[in-house]
């Protein structure tokens, strides 16, 4: 079972109640994959106009950077 903490993402073993941090730092969790043990999240960069998309495997702890994302200006969301 995965959960967000004040310092990232952790998993807990429900049998032993042991917690293990997988990702540290300020992140935004997007979704846990339905048929795999992958969790997708974004991480801010030094440039406020960009963030990065990441995948972490909840079983192995492997983190993989998937893409650089450009922020969408708020004006793009407004109806005209």
Query: Over the stretch 52-70, which tens digit does the pLDDT of each residue have?
Result: 999 999 989 999 999 999 8
The answer as to whether 66 is a domain residue is yes
What is the span of the domain harbouring residue 41?
25-80
Do the beta carbons of residue 56 and residue 38 sit within 8 Å?
A: yes
Please give the model's pTM, rounded to 2 decimal places.
0.78
The answer as to whether 73 is a domain residue is yes
The answer as to whether 15 is a domain residue is no
The Cβ-side half-sphere exposure at 46, using a 13 Å CA radius, reads 0
The answer as to whether 41 is a domain residue is yes
The total of structural domains in the chain comes to 1
- Kindly report, residue by residue over 2-42, the tens digit of the pLDDT: 888 888 999 999 999 999 999 998 888 778 878 888 999 99
């Amino acid at each position: 079972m995965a959960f967000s903490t004040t310092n990232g993402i952790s998993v807990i073993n429900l049998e032993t109640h042991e917690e293990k941090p997988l990702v540290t730092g300020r992140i935004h969790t997007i979704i846990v994959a339905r048929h795999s043990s992958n969790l997708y999240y974004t991480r801010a960069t030094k440039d406020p106009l960009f963030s990065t998309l990441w995948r972490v495997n909840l079983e192995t702890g492997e983190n993989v950077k998937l893409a650089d994302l450009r922020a969408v200006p708020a004006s793009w969301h407004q109806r005209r």
